[in-house]
Structure 1
Amino acid sequence: MSADIEIDAASGSPEGVRLQKVLAAAGVASRRVSEELIEAGRVSVNGRIVTELGSRVDPEHDHVSVDGTAVQLDVTKRYVMLNKPTGVVSSLRDEQGRPDLRRWTDASEERLFNVGRLDADTSGLLLLTNDGSLAHVLAHPSFGVTKTYIALVRGRVAPRTIQQLVAGVELDDGAIAADKARLLPESKAGAGNSLVELTLHSGRNRIVRRMLDSVGHPVIELVRRSFGPLQLGALPIGETRHLSKVELGQLLTLSRSTDDPDGDEK
């Protein structure tokens, strides 16, 4: 990453692209408004506030933020949210011939791939992208990106069971605790069942199902409602949408705020 910002000068040929031009190309604002953002001290490059309109950046390596939110300068990158249905495996080609993600990825001109995985019998938010660097941060458990799930489980869940999930349970591959857990209104669960919302950052295999099974409440249905700052919202099952600029900025800000050590599965 370039740590320095090349400034336009009367002599010589400065490297890089003018900052306001880069911002406009990224869809932040028009070039004129981008200039106003720079002069107002709202734009930073590699963590440094830039106020000179002659500033130049390398779009391939420099990190640019506006009001503290990261901007994607590479316009070839794509970010698509999918509400994955149950019965679909999180693979671009399933060797067993089961329904896979090609139904959605083949519709894109870019070669998209999934960030992490959801089990075939789990539905909900799955991110598709061609941004390998961001995918690495979001999918790898060492970065601690949180995910929130809503589980329909068998039996009436008691408040002490919710407390137990947060305090931690012992599984065959070690102890695990939810970051947050709460019991949702019984009226939405149906007779004899409960709805539990769990937030955690673990990437262990089928961890939500195993945690709830360990406290005596097997999962009937499981859906992932959030992934990092992304919220599934009202996106219908089986449908996709491109991330908004706000959502993308939040994701990029999250990924750039992490240190880079070296999947994700429920």
Structure 2
Amino acid sequence: MRSSGRNSGSGNRNPRGAGGGQRGGKQKSSGRPRPEERRYDVGESSGRTGGGSGKPAGGGSRGAAARGGAKGGPKRPEGAKAGDARRGGRPQGPSRPRELDAKIEERNRARHSKPQIKLPKTFGEPEGERLQKVLARAGMGSRRACEELIDQRRVEVNGEVVTEQGLRVDPEQDEVKVDGLTVATQSYLFFALNKPAGVVSTMEDPDGRQCLGDYVTNRETRLFHVGRLDTETEGIILLTNHGELAHRLTHPRYGVRKTYLAAIQGPIPRDLGKQLKNGVRLEDGYARADHFKVVENTGKNYLVEVSLHEGRKHIVRRMLAEAGFPVDKLVRTSFGPIPLGDQKSGWLRRLTNTEVGMLMREVDL
């Protein structure tokens, strides 16, 4: 009996001894959990444990419990993901409509945008440009030279002599004159071309013939010719972008005189000039010359000068032919106050400010 008692006692001790000796085994203790195994999370998962270890079902540890839902810490709302707490502690809610964002942005801009302050003219940009700057740009000299013109009282603005420096003018509206001649203060261009024979008096030709536009192809500003010359007639023709000046120079009301040299065959009567001045009857009415004289005579070859203010087609050729003297060659030597001079055939030159002023005075501009 003793031996059986000892055997039974030893059998009771062996499980404890075996459990204590198998610390490295896989068996888990059924007693109270160690501190590192205690559950710190509270909430829905408090009742879910894995086995008898006391750990959360998801295999959470102290660090995971502290991050997610330790007692006293922030609680995740129902339906929130675990990653929401890591990103900022607050779940992502539904985004606002774009219309609402646009209204908020518009309201903020209206709140912070300041109205534009309208300053009086004394504090704003002064109107117009300084007179000496306008004169210098028009080619009357340097600014210093233009100031001297003002000091010498040679400059007029809208009919009044300028006596002080610093006057501002509007180049588009005000009329500026120097020594009584109008200055082209705007961005106008004025050219004189010695048109060769065979050139068509148009800026473009659909048939591909040589025309006036071939001489100004490098100009950005569109130019147009003042009047016309016959294809076989040579001489001066004006090109400009000043529409009003071109209109007045060709209008019969202003009577701008044009002068021609014509080569004819003689002999001619002494009263030929008188006949032309009295008027020659043509199919479209009478045509009268303002001036006539014989420039050169070599045998039967005559070179005569004819001046008139009309601009009808082939007017000089028709007048002389009606008088009995067909024209062999015709050259226009002057247009109003602008002479051809020694300008070579086919050459283009820019008119000087003095010449532009003379043209404008000719037509009351």
TM-score, with structure 1 as normaliser:
0.85
Aligned with 1:200 (options 287, 308, 321):
308
- Counterpart secondary structure, 2:292: strand
What CA distance in whole angstroms lies between the structure 2 residues aligned with 1:246 and 1:193?
Answer: 37
Q: Given the alignment of the two structures, is residue 135 of structure 1 paired with residue 246 of structure 2, yes or no?
A: yes
Give the aligned partner of residue 96 of structure 1: 207
Q: Given the alignment of the two structures, is residue 122 of structure 1 paired with residue 233 of structure 2, yes or no?
A: yes
Aligned with 2:191 (options 54, 65, 80):
80
Deviates further, 195-204 or 30-39:
30-39
Give the aligned partner of residue 157 of structure 1: 268
Please state how far the C-alpha of 1:13 moved relative to its aligned partner.
5.7
Aligned with 1:20 (options 111, 121, 132):
132
Instruction: Decide which structure has the larger Cα Rg and report it.
Output: 2
Inter-CA distance 13–239: structure 2 relative to 1 (3 Å threshold): closer
What CA distance in whole angstroms lies between the structure 2 residues aligned with 1:48 and 1:247?
Answer: 22
- Counterpart secondary structure, 1:185: strand
Aligned with 1:175 (options 286, 292, 300):
286
Please state how far the C-alpha of 1:241 moved relative to its aligned partner.
1.3
Give the aligned partner of residue 48 of structure 1: 160
Please state how far the C-alpha of 1:10 moved relative to its aligned partner.
6.8
Q: Considering Cα pairs closer than 8 Å and 6+ residues apart, tell me whether 1 or 2 has the greater RCO.
A: 1
Give the aligned partner of residue 326 of structure 2: 218
What CA distance in whole angstroms lies between the structure 1 residues aligned with 2:199 and 2:125?
Answer: 53
Q: Is the 8 A contact 2:203 2:214 kept in 1?
A: no
Q: Read off the aligned partner of 1:110 and give its amino acid letter.
A: T
What CA distance in whole angstroms lies between the structure 2 residues aligned with 1:201 and 1:165?
Answer: 13
Please state how far the C-alpha of 1:22 moved relative to its aligned partner.
1.3
What CA distance in whole angstroms lies between the structure 1 residues aligned with 2:189 and 2:245?
Answer: 11
Structure with the bigger percentage of strand: 1
Give the aligned partner of residue 40 of structure 2: none
- What whole-Å deviation, never above 9, does each CA across 1:207-258 have from its counterpart, x for those lacking one? 1011111111011110100001111111111111111232222223323x26
- Counterpart secondary structure, 2:177: strand
What CA distance in whole angstroms lies between the structure 2 residues aligned with 1:108 and 1:179?
Answer: 36
Q: Is the 8 A contact 2:260 2:305 kept in 1?
A: yes
- What whole-Å deviation, never above 9, does each CA across 1:42-93 have from its counterpart, x for those lacking one? 111122212122322110111100111111112x322221111111110122
TM-score, with structure 2 as normaliser:
0.63
Structure 2: 5+ residue runs without aligned partners? 1-120
What CA distance in whole angstroms lies between the structure 1 residues aligned with 2:333 and 2:280?
Answer: 23
Q: Is the 8 A contact 1:159 1:183 kept in 2?
A: no
Please state how far the C-alpha of 1:11 moved relative to its aligned partner.
7.6
Structure with the bigger percentage of helix: 2
